[in-house]
Chain A
């Protein structure tokens, strides 16, 4: 009996929470900004610094700039442990807004969960901002109206790596005959770069070798033995989690020069290299999230937030790290999108639909980035309905044994003119398979009215 009554009481408690979720935008004065954090579980080491970056920037906007055009942000956390189901649960929990304030954008922070939310977000009209991950075809906003793979898609990542190698060997015409081996995490994420590398190898004539590493990748002697045999000029390492440090260590053991390995976006953080120890010195990585503390905005955050003990960061060593900066970069994009939407719809909390308009009209040029203090931290980008990526460039970092140094000459651009038509083709095929009628710029403008 007692158990039964307890169960009923428990059910009533949950029911009251879920049913009490408010739906529409009322006369709220503040903008709700839900955070689907992951501070425990296998990926906590990346989650903790990235979410600290997000929260510190939100605090900076609130406390130093007095909100976005006077509209302050407020947030709560929902722990996902980087698991798809929990991520979906969190999304459903927060999507209705809070205290009458709507959700403008949602940051899924994970490739699988962003894919599971692709269609739900369209039905709910909440833009998903996925920086450095997510389905590449989502660049085509005509087919994927609420998915924003801003900054750097996996295809751009592959292309930028090839272009960096071209710079090193003395031009794209020198790529002919160069051997590039891609060692990838054998998962949907890991395989995303196969198609673009295939296209690019045909274009430039380099030799494209693909070597898979099964999840999680804590033994790679077979793969590196193959590398030893093939003797590639460069290795492009697309790892995830424990795979990256193991790859660096195994490469050093088999005598492959570490400064000829270029890590991908998710193989390029301090947390990826530190466990490899001293042999990681010289390792390269491409990233849309340059590390460093010298960017103007980081200096401001240090002075106003970190030094005043207002930072979410528990470990001060992570300040200015790749993951911390990724949180800041992501939030800069979200905040600027809301600001752009406010320019059109008024200085008040913005709905998801309005934020979509804001994102599709987002212009972050050199001048604006300088005002924000994000020059060199965020690449210049212009989004549109046909282009949800905008930039498509990365910087190459090199590990000096203690920290990252930027070694590329500014942003390494990708061959977007070459790849975009193929991405549009794939998006069109997806639209056909799903029966989606692609939007046009006119219809999007009409619905924004």
Chain B
């Protein structure tokens, strides 16, 4: 935390410090409460909550976090998220299958790193081109990876339909194949990755990413290695997306094929961070909550309110209209995403106490 540390080190900065410290400790307490509750969830939650709500929410948040590092922090727009997730899922699958002596976390991390390497290659054009043109090149990667995984049966161990299916998930003898176990695996991974990402964006690397994002010419002038920063952003972002992809395949669905990670998935992750807030780690979580959970909530509410009275198809269309309308309304009122809204709310609350 360099900003706080430097402020508190100044002799005349006590008023600022006093204002900040309670907020920080309050934040830490809240975070601690949140994490403890999250770990306690499997004791009370039903399969439905774990399998259909919490696991996909956490994984989408993780994928959003990966893209947020590349796009939100380093400003390198990418539609290759689906490809990175697919690379991570297939790499982890092959590691689990072909190197069974590797423990699960190692396979996950290595699978993520393979996705990171794919991201590195996909990121190469970013050294020359930016903006929409860069999006177009990442789009090419999206189609290529999907095609390769579908085309070469080696990747799916010659399964008749080139689908991959989770081998037995176990960690240190503890079976993780039940919903509770899969949830804890997902949660543990998400917390660890988020902690690493949190450190990273506040480090030298994170600052150089933001400098490149805000104006790469200026960044180059003050001596930031722009090319290195861009590639690093692609590598780290794709690694995180790769881990998310592996979890999507094994902790969430169980059996997937490359089409689970198609262009729609890339767009979905991009919407997560646009709605949640670009350049905000919390934004990935808030955005994922919005994209994943709100439609489910709407469908429950619609079922309770109109169940049976209105034709099922029309009811669904109504929900789409409402959901779309909410997105438009939200982006007009808060173009920086829900995380900006949340932090404004937080400051107002903090000011009141």
Q: Is A370 an interface residue (CB 8 A)?
A: no
Q: Contact flags (1/0) for B147-187 with A, using CB distance below 8 Å?
A: 10010000001011111011110000000011000000000
- Given A79-B312, A188-B259, decide whether A21 and B48 contact each other with a Cβ distance below 8 A: yes
The CA-CA distance from A37 to B299 in the complex, in Å, is 13
Q: Using CB atoms, name the residue of chain A closest to B262.
A: A215
Q: Contact flags (1/0) for B279-302 with A, using CB distance below 8 Å?
A: 000000000000001001101110
- Given A21-B46, A39-B316, A191-B162, decide whether A92 and B150 contact each other with a Cβ distance below 8 A: no
List the B side residues contacting A89 at CB < 8 Å: 52-53, 296
List the B side residues contacting A116 at CB < 8 Å: 253-256
B291-320, CB < 8 A from A? 293, 296-297, 299-301, 303-304, 307, 311-313, 315-317, 320
Is B160's CB under 8 angstroms from A115's CB? no
Q: Is B47 an interface residue (CB 8 A)?
A: yes
List the A side residues contacting B45 at CB < 8 Å: 19
Is B46's CB under 8 angstroms from A19's CB? yes
List the B side residues contacting A93 at CB < 8 Å: 48, 52
Is A40's CB under 8 angstroms from B320's CB? yes
The CA-CA distance from A186 to B259 in the complex, in Å, is 11
State the Cβ distance, B307 to closest chain A Cβ, in Å: 7
Is A112's CB under 8 angstroms from B260's CB? yes
What is the total number of residues of chain B having a CB less than 8 Å from a CB of chain A? 52
Is B315's CB under 8 angstroms from A79's CB? yes
The CA-CA distance from A123 to B316 in the complex, in Å, is 30
Is A13's CB under 8 angstroms from B300's CB? yes
The CA-CA distance from A3 to B343 in the complex, in Å, is 13
A182-200, CB < 8 A from B? 186-189, 191-192, 195
List the B side residues contacting A85 at CB < 8 Å: 56
Q: Using CB atoms, name the residue of chain B closest to A114.
A: B255
Q: Using CB atoms, name the residue of chain A closest to B302.
A: A79
Q: Contact flags (1/0) for A65-98 with B, using CB distance below 8 Å?
A: 0000000000011110100110011001101100
How many A-B residue pairs have C-beta atoms within 8 angstroms? Tell me.
132
Q: Using CB atoms, name the residue of chain B closest to A81.
A: B316
Is A137's CB under 8 angstroms from B160's CB? yes
The CA-CA distance from A189 to B303 in the complex, in Å, is 33
Is B255's CB under 8 angstroms from A115's CB? yes
> In the complex, which of the residues A14, A40, A195, A426 contacts B317, with contact meaning CB atoms closer than 8 Å?
A40
Is A186's CB under 8 angstroms from B150's CB? yes
List the A side residues contacting B157 at CB < 8 Å: 433
Is A192's CB under 8 angstroms from B165's CB? no
List the A side residues contacting B297 at CB < 8 Å: 10, 13-14
Q: Is B97 an interface residue (CB 8 A)?
A: yes
Q: Is A44 an interface residue (CB 8 A)?
A: yes
Interchain residue pairs A-B with the least CB separation, the first 8: A39-B313, A188-B161, A92-B52, A89-B52, A116-B253, A115-B255, A79-B316, A92-B48
A-B contact sample (18 more), CB < 8 A, given A17-B304, A19-B49: A19-B46, A21-B46, A39-B313, A76-B303, A79-B316, A88-B253, A95-B48, A96-B48, A115-B163, A119-B177, A119-B255, A124-B47, A135-B160, A188-B259, A192-B161, A433-B157, A435-B167, A435-B168
Residues of A that sit less than 8 Å from B by CB: 1, 3-4, 10, 13-14, 17-19, 21, 37, 39-40, 44, 48, 76-79, 81, 84-85, 88-89, 92-93, 95-96, 112, 115-116, 118-120, 123-124, 135-137, 186-189, 191-192, 195, 214-215, 426, 430, 433-435
In the complex, 13 of the A-B residue pairs with CB atoms within 8 angstroms, ordered by the A residue number, are A1-B349, A14-B293, A39-B312, A39-B313, A78-B299, A92-B52, A118-B165, A119-B165, A119-B254, A188-B163, A191-B150, A433-B157, A435-B167
